[in-house]
Amino acid sequence: MSGQKMDLTGKVAIITGSGTGIGRASAVLLAQQGADIVLAGRKEGPLDESAGQVRALGRRASVIPTDVKDSDACEALVARTMEEFGRIDILLNNAGGSRAKSLDAWTLADFHDMIALNLTSVWVLSLAAARHMRGTGGSIINISSMASLRAVPHSAPYGVAKAGVNNMTSVMAVDLAPFGIRVNCIAVGTIKSEGYIRAMERMGLDPDVSGAGNPMGRPGLPEEIAWPVLFLASDASSYVTGQTLAVNGGMALRP
């Protein structure tokens, strides 16, 4: 019975930022459970690689290059998914990112860029997808960050945007619950993604231990976020909505 709760056969998932890291790991895991995957992101090459892994599992994969900062492109992503698959059951708002700058170095343009990438995109995509989930139900999952829950130096606009994602998650959960749509969030800690590895190597640091900042003393793996994504995407979490789940190796336990 427990395995049936995780079964996504016949489901269609849109995953943004699915060319690498958490997005790719989630795409593969959801495909392993039977879902067809729409892969969205800025760079087509990595998306094609992710699509190849999904297709190798016998599932359909569609690559739709999308800059999530472009609201029209977000709407087009949802529209094309409906044209190709006829349904949307799962939306994983994973695309995002930040830069580290001193407070005075952040320009107003930088601030708006962070909001567009990490917050506005989630708003636009969630509303667009929810229009097609009404009646049939669905699950919207937002990837947030521990920067939304604690003060991370040099990352103010990013933290503000992700805190907005947390609040948006709970408000949308209330508004969409009558339509059978669940909305949840995962606030991740340090994850050993390709970008993280490159950053650590540029600083001459060991990516397996540096920068984790948690009691476990290591960064998480993308697959360790994909499993909570699967839980929230599936019927295993049928009574869970409006939650921000911290997956961070215990980072929140430290002052």
Residues with a catalytic annotation lie at 144, 158, 162
Closest alpha carbon to 116 in 167, 44, 67? 67
> What Rg value do the Cα atoms of the chain yield, rounded?
17
Taking a C-beta distance cutoff of 8 angstroms, is the pair 84, 31 a contact?
Answer: no
**SS3 for 64?**
strand
- Tell me the sheet residues that pair with 181: 138
DSSP E strands, the chain: 12-16, 36-41, 61-65, 90-93, 138-145, 181-188, 244-247
Q: Dig out the tokens for 97 from the structure.
A: 């990112």
